[in-house]
Structure 1
Amino acid sequence: MAFLSDTEVNRIKSEITQDTSSLGKIYKSKKSQFENIAVNHSDVVKYNSDGWEEYTKPLKTKTPLRRLKGFFTKFEDDIWCQFYELGFRKISSKPILLPYSKNEGELEEINIVAIHDETIFIITCKANEVFSKAESFAEEFSTLKQKLDGFKKLFRQIYGDKYKVKYIFATHNIRFDLDSPDLEVLKSSKSFLYDNNAYSYINNIIKSYKSSSLYQFFGLIFKNELINLDKIEIPAVQGMMGNKKYYMFSIEPHLLLKMGFILHRTKANVSEFPTYQRLLVPKRLKGITKFIDDGGYFPNSIIVNFNSSKHSIHFDASSKLTSSNSCFGTLKIPNSYGIAYIIDGQHRVYGYAGSKYLKNNTIPVVAFDGLDTIEQLEIFMDINENQKAVSPSLRLDLEEDLFWDSDRADSRIKALRSSITKELSNSNSSPLYNKISVGEDTSILTFKPFTIALSNSGLLPVAKGNKYSDDSIKYSLYDESNKDHNQEMTNAKSNIGILLKLSYDFVEQNYSDIFKREKYFIVSNRGTYAFICLIGSLNRFLIDENTLTKKSTPEERFEQIRKYLKALLDYVSDIPKEEEEKQLSLLGAGADIKWLRNFQSIVNKKYNEFNPADLIDWNERQNDELQDKGRKFGVEIEKFMKKSTLSRLKEIYGDKWELEIGSIKRDCVDRALQEDEKNHKEGLDKESSDWKDMFNINDYKTIIEKHWTKKPEKNNGNFKTFEDEFSINIGNGFNSKTDKIKWISIFNSHRNLWAHEGTKEKRLNKNEVEFLEMIHGHFYN
């Protein structure tokens, strides 16, 4: 007896639209953020009260109205549109009632049914308006297996046995605990949880892969599931490379596309971590397809790894040459989705997806069997390292997997920075959940500011090779004395992660207007650096005050930091408009440091005991009076050096003095000519530059060193040598010539701070001005 009556069969088939023209119109409607209706002119006011609005001229008998779709309707429509964009052309246009048994009344409303050549997807949609923890679906899922069995019988009766039937539970803004019983039910029923991450990922591959996105979609949804029981049998050569067994063969692109899968660096593949691949470049993909269709080919091999816990490959050797360790044979590959991870060559493989040669070309493949993902990652990095194919952001993301178990301390710290950043982005308990771009997932914050902030905050130690900086050890939340590196890495990740989550949560819960405002003082790339470094600065201060210790818990640490963060956030809540605009307009290199100093200054105004050395230094460099004083000393020192150096040369060598510094003179003449050329091009009517005005500090240093003890032939005893005039004891030893003129190198470095009048990027602090004053006193007192 049939599962369904003919009437029911016809009803269900009629509700699954397959007319391409109708589907196109439905897609256009569902893609819009508005729902549209046309009502009698007399009913417009009534509809206005329900949120409908006129958006175009009235028609003859009707008035077109529209209103924004509700969040659930919009989500349901977005899922529908995604399947249409994937290439599905048999889709239910509205929710459909499906019977799951022969008993009358045992029906389930399904939001979307989508059918492709060999697959049927049954999709239930659930959504929350704001991101929140899932309600229990225990009652709904208690009969899920029974219902799915019924749905499969239903569709096999209508469409035949060739179709794979898959249930998708599509959610938006719903968070499940990792040990959720509902997730266990979905897993046991071989259903797929299509959450925020999966939705975003599919959106991205649709944009990147266009018409070929369906292959990666199937690989994600049906990973390791058999397409059919027929194995793919291919002639192959088996060999060994680096103690790893591999196979070389040629295969039709359409077969590799079905069994292939790319481990994109995205939260949708989090169960597969470590992952490593970038999304395809759409323009490049289109160009490759055209290249293939025009007769082009790629002689180099695609590199894959067969990695399935359920369906393994098998090699039957047929012959082996005595002169080689390789052997010929037949490779038997399960006809399964997502078992061949494409390590290198994804553009070439997917370039065939839209090609006319999809089924009648073959492409060369080198296939490993059973590599773990770290080994795949290492191969990927080795291949791409010298090609600059790995983006900087992806490199930062990969550092956790590359360096976590490194023998070098500095590499392990890199891994920690990467891991902490991903924890802030990926953890459901984090206020920054999904707000940081990780791998191929893009968001409002980028990865790099977090790694830079963690490097400079002092929350992690500074290491070079296997040696830690002594000063950084005192304040970091990493115990370098723990020789169990994995345990200490895990501890530090947890401690720093909790501290930062508590700090950001404090902002979100108590200053929501500040937290929700993107590109503002906290949730922005500049704000990231300033906020995390401020937390590190407060941690150093409180340890120095003996309020905290290196062993304090994250909760204890936050409780002590809280009042200082409150001072910052109270000020930002009521910041003067002019100051707000000034800070937000800071761009480019150095803006993040300026924001940090501003944050520290705000806290210092409320709690003046918090006055870190870097803030003191910063304030000194902003002091115009101090800059003027240092600049005055510097100018006069340089004038003295020029006058004294040239006069001594003339006394020693007379008219031949210029010949003694021939190479320096040539450089100075060249500089003078360049200066004249620059003035000419800028339309400045100036006299030709004198080469004697073109000496720099290093020129004086060279002259002083070379002629250190030289005296004129006729010396009345009053002549001061360069050694006599320019030896200055700066407290770093005073034995060698190098010791005695060390001050010149320091003076030259300071010159870069005072020479550019008007800039606040390079300025002098109090110690540097005192140094200039001491050198000035040596020459003028």
Structure 2
Amino acid sequence: PALSNIKIPAIKGKLGGHQYYSFVSTPRQLLKISFVNHRSLNDPEGAPAYQRLINKTRLSQISKFIQNGGFFPTNLLVNFTSKCRFEQITRNPSCDNAYGYLYLPSQYCSAWIIDGQHRLYGYASLNDHHLDQNIMVVAFEELDPTEEANLFVTINHEQKSVPKNLLDDLEGDLKWGSKKPSERIGAVASRLLSVLNEDLGEPLYGRITQQGITSTDSTCLTIPELKNGLRKSGLIGTSMRNNKEYLPGPLCGETDALTLERAREVLNGFFDLIRSANPEIWDAGRGGLLCTNISLQGYMLFLSSVISYWENKTNSNARELEPLDLLLKVNTYLDPIRGWLAKANFRKMNERFKIQYGSGAPSTYFYKLCQLVNPEYDDFCPTGYLEWLESQSAEKIAEADKQIKEISIIVNRIVFDTLKEVYGEEVSGYWHEGVKDKTIMSSAYQKSLDEPNRGLALENYVEFIEHKKIIERKENWPLFKEYFDIPELGEKGKTKNLKWMEKINELRRIPAHPTESRNYRKDDFEYIEYVYQKLITKTSIDFRGSTA
């Protein structure tokens, strides 16, 4: 009874041949009659079910957004499952619309949500004040579930979202003056990049892509990526204490407007020093690896590190220097890079700075820049540089590659020597009774067919990680425990300590599929050495001969 006779002003009309109503309601009213036909219900009467399950985290985020004063200026889209009562007051013949009062359905689950489930249910946990806020709704009447699903697909697939590039560009206007440090930094960064792109004759003039204009090899920079670089560098400030405190950066002024001008002057001058070292490579954009998203982010990190290095060394504050004076200090440490660039060609750039795209690419580029400066300023060692350098050591890499290869040989040799000893050397013995896994046997057989002239035994085609399945079989584990039971560093007491095989299998991919950015970490060298020494001790295999 509490749902009966709830009437609201509405417009009635037709859209796509279907009856619809446009009106304003409240979450309190709609939540009582709404329903989400999500796919996991598997209800034949609701087929085709098209909605995803409501996401709890997203609901929480939306609730917080509403509590902070947010609202949604877009329509909720629903379908009334039965015919609605509508009292017409007047009609507009020119657009075939009627104006009047709509009586909301008086049954639970009578308004099926087609689009906006999270927006509506984000109100569910809020107080009375929020439950009585206005929500705009477009409601169809007695749509078939298939038509509902088609509408859902149209909205979520055919309708394109606003590109991130445009949203990041707009942030400079929409968030300017924000009290939130992260938004403040984002707004200054967005506006700064727009200004740098419009500075006639300066290094970044016309190099940043604009919405709706196709990028080229030279116009290949994007605001989202460069904004990310500015944030990580801290040049125009850092957000501290869970976005409650703003820490100014070395390019900051007393106000955001002054920060914009100061950063503009310093960055134009800084990138001009880089461009002038080799204009041909700079102008090549993507092809030169000098004026790209990755490289410029790397140079921003470098600029920030050099300023910090100079401040610590001289007990000075960079913010007290005029832009030109700051550039003179920076140029001293930039000289080794500019000297290298002056002699570089496209081949040399490719050899040193060709980096696989990814979240760690700018940092890798930055460390490669540090490599050029460190020989002249040996105490210039930014955070993470020494660890990265150690991971690049050719000697260590060669040793790790060798150890991984020998680990694979040890495992294969021990596994099949043992199986042959226990089950017999015939294929019907060690292979069918010892291995016994049809998937492993089939895979090995297929690989042997791909190399018909090699004449190798089937065990030579077993993948490293497949040995783990053979070893941990209930019947086989007692045979192999003494060799392969290797606990993780600091761990004890597990029934089967074979986690190391999974880790070694992952590390095997580094030498097997090498790329510029796929390298061992410092911890990887230690781990490989640990496993290698354990296996050597347990198995007594000498690679100058055979099992001792």
Q: TM-score, normalised by structure 2?
A: 0.53
Are residue 746 (structure 1) and residue 503 (structure 2) matched? yes
> Partners of 2:406 and 2:298 in 1: how far apart?
39
Partner of 1:698: 465
Deviations 1:694-751 (A, max 9, x none): 222322233334449843xxxxxxxxx544332334435334347x333222212221
> SS of 2:304's equivalent?
helix
Q: Where does structure 2 lack aligned partners over 5 or more consecutive residues?
A: 1-12, 27-73, 75-84, 96-137, 139-152, 538-548
The one of 200, 219, 224 equivalent to 1:445 is 219
> Partners of 1:500 and 1:722 in 2: how far apart?
66
Partner of 1:637: 407
The one of 666, 673, 683 equivalent to 2:446 is 673
Identity percentage of aligned residues? 15
Amino acid at match of 1:777: Q
Amino acid at match of 1:452: E
Matches within 5 A, 1:140-219: none
Shift of 1:446: 2.1
Relative to structure 1, is the Cα distance of residues 631 and 402 closer, same or farther in structure 2, using a 3 angstrom cutoff?
same
Shift of 1:686: 1.8
Partner of 2:147: none
Q: Is residue 356–residue 515 contact of structure 2 (8 Å, CA) maintained in 1?
A: no
Matches within 5 A, 1:464-479: 477-479=237-239
Amino acid at match of 1:478: T
> Partners of 2:89 and 2:466 in 1: how far apart?
67
Partner of 1:376: none
Amino acid at match of 1:645: V
Q: Is residue 454–residue 460 contact of structure 1 (8 Å, CA) maintained in 2?
A: yes
Deviations 1:313-361 (A, max 9, x none): xxxxxxxx94369942658xxxxxxxxxxxxxxxxxxxxxxxxxxxxxx
Relative to structure 1, is the Cα distance of residues 612 and 743 closer, same or farther in structure 2, using a 3 angstrom cutoff?
farther
Partner of 1:291: none
Relative to structure 1, is the Cα distance of residues 745 and 580 closer, same or farther in structure 2, using a 3 angstrom cutoff?
same
Amino acid at match of 1:774: Y
> Partners of 2:239 and 2:517 in 1: how far apart?
36
> SS of 2:312's equivalent?
coil
Deviations 1:460-519 (A, max 9, x none): 25xxxxxxxxxx99x993223375699999988985885465133234379646458512
> Partners of 2:402 and 2:518 in 1: how far apart?
16
Partner of 1:432: 204
> Partners of 2:530 and 2:473 in 1: how far apart?
25
Deviations 1:274-320 (A, max 9, x none): xxxxxxxxxxxxxxxxxxxxxxxxxxxxxxx9xxxxxxxxxxxxxxx
Shift of 1:434: 3.2
Q: Is residue 728–residue 741 contact of structure 1 (8 Å, CA) maintained in 2?
A: yes
Matches within 5 A, 1:284-683: 322-323=86-87, 327-328=91-92, 386-387=157-158, 389=160, 394-399=163-168, 401=170, 421-426=193-198, 431-441=203-213, 444-448=218-222, 451-452=224-225, 454-455=227-228, 457=229, 459-460=230-231, 477-481=237-241, 498-499=262-263, 501-508=265-272, 512=276, 514=278, 517-519=282-284, 526-540=291-305, 543=308, 547=312, 553=319, 558=326, 561-573=330-342, 575=343, 580-583=346-349, 589=356, 596-612=366-382, 615-616=385-386, 619-620=389-390, 622-649=392-419, 655=429, 658-659=432-433, 661-663=435-437, 665-674=438-447, 676-677=449-450, 679=451
Q: Is residue 434–residue 476 contact of structure 2 (8 Å, CA) maintained in 1?
A: no
> Partners of 2:199 and 2:259 in 1: how far apart?
14
> Partners of 1:630 and 1:521 in 2: how far apart?
34
Deviations 1:42-79 (A, max 9, x none): xxxxxxxxxxxxxxxxxxxxxxxxxxxxxxxxxxxxxx
The one of 525, 529, 533 equivalent to 1:773 is 529
Q: Is residue 226–residue 293 contact of structure 2 (8 Å, CA) maintained in 1?
A: yes
Aligned length: 386
> Partners of 1:447 and 1:610 in 2: how far apart?
29
> Partners of 2:375 and 2:440 in 1: how far apart?
51
Shift of 1:537: 3.9
Shift of 1:545: 8.2
Q: Is residue 171–residue 190 contact of structure 2 (8 Å, CA) maintained in 1?
A: no
Amino acid at match of 1:460: R
Shift of 1:619: 4.6
Relative to structure 1, is the Cα distance of residues 243 and 496 closer, same or farther in structure 2, using a 3 angstrom cutoff?
farther
Q: Is residue 460–residue 478 contact of structure 1 (8 Å, CA) maintained in 2?
A: yes
Partner of 1:149: none
> SS of 1:436's equivalent?
coil
Deviations 1:161-220 (A, max 9, x none): xxxxxxxxxxxxxxxxxxxxxxxxxxxxxxxxxxxxxxxxxxxxxxxxxxxxxxxxxxxx
> SS of 2:283's equivalent?
coil
Shift of 1:397: 2.5
Relative to structure 1, is the Cα distance of residues 543 and 243 closer, same or farther in structure 2, using a 3 angstrom cutoff?
farther
Greater Rg over alpha carbons, structure: 1
> SS of 2:22's equivalent?
strand
Relative to structure 1, is the Cα distance of residues 519 and 241 closer, same or farther in structure 2, using a 3 angstrom cutoff?
farther
Partner of 1:274: none
> Partners of 2:87 and 2:192 in 1: how far apart?
52
Cα RMSD over matched residues?
Answer: 5.4
Deviations 1:396-417 (A, max 9, x none): 23245489779x9999998887
Partner of 2:107: none
Amino acid at match of 2:506: S
Q: Is residue 392–residue 519 contact of structure 2 (8 Å, CA) maintained in 1?
A: yes
Relative to structure 1, is the Cα distance of residues 609 and 779 closer, same or farther in structure 2, using a 3 angstrom cutoff?
same
> SS of 1:240's equivalent?
strand
Relative to structure 1, is the Cα distance of residues 396 and 417 closer, same or farther in structure 2, using a 3 angstrom cutoff?
farther
Amino acid at match of 2:284: K
Partner of 1:240: 22
> SS of 1:728's equivalent?
coil
Q: Which has the higher contact order (CA 8 A, sep 6+)?
A: 2
Q: Is residue 445–residue 524 contact of structure 1 (8 Å, CA) maintained in 2?
A: no
